[in-house]
């Protein structure tokens, strides 16, 4: 029995140390995820420049919601493709955007990107190009493959805010 107590204490100590090590290994690199979101948005912007509906539709999770000014919420792949397809089929379409702030949840499973955009489309009344700007907010969720997809994408027209201080 005397030999059993030190053995049990040593085993408990080993489990405690292993548990601490595993927690340290599980730390999430939120800066790395934020950089990945920024890179993903650069690819997303290229999809708009190329007018590639498949690339753009692929940025959204199956249950994502796209909110565009004046349109009903697009909550299905078909609705999102229709909304984006109408936009990119406009001969005057041009879009630039950039994130001003990317935030990542400490668990690393959710992220958001808020930024500014400038868009040119055809005015339906005059048939002439019109340029506007505003803010967007996109919420990303980590997927089973480890990547992130948009689950909420809201476009807010109006003057783009000043970039966040970094």
Q: Give the CATH number of the domain where residue 84 resides.
A: 3.10.450.50
Domain-located, residue 47: yes
Reported as a single tens digit per residue, the pLDDT across 78-104 is: 999 999 999 999 999 999 999 999 999
Domain-located, residue 138: yes
CA angle 101, 52, 32 (to 5 degrees): 30
**With a cut of 50, which residues of the chain have pLDDT below it?**
1, 4-22, 24
Q: What is the pLDDT of residue 11?
A: 44
Domain extent for 39? 32-157
Q: Are 135 and 114 in contact (CB under 8 A)?
A: yes
**pTM for the structure as a whole:** 0.80
- Total of domains in the chain: 1
Q: Kindly give the pairing relationship between strand 94-104 and strand 60-67.
A: unpaired
């Amino acid at each position: 029995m005397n030999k059993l107590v030190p053995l049990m204490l040593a085993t408990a100590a080993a489990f405690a140390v292993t548990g601490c090590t595993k927690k340290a290994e599980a730390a999430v690199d939120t800066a790395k995820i934020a950089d990945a979101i920024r890179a993903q948005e650069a690819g997303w912007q290229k999809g708009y420049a190329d007018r590639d509906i498949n690339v753009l539709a692929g940025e959204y999770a199956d249950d994502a919601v796209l909110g565009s000014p004046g349109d009903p919420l697009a909550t299905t792949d078909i609705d999102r493709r229709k909304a984006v397809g109408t936009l990119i089929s406009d001969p005057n379409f041009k879009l630039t955007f950039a994130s001003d702030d990317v935030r990542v949840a400490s668990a690393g499973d959710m992220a958001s990107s808020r930024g500014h955009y400038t868009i040119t489309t055809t005015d339906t009344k005059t048939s002439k190009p019109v340029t506007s700007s505003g803010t967007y907010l996109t919420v990303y969720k980590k997927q089973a493959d480890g990547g992130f997809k948009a689950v909420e994408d809201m476009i807010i027209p109006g003057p783009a805010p000043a970039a966040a201080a970094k």
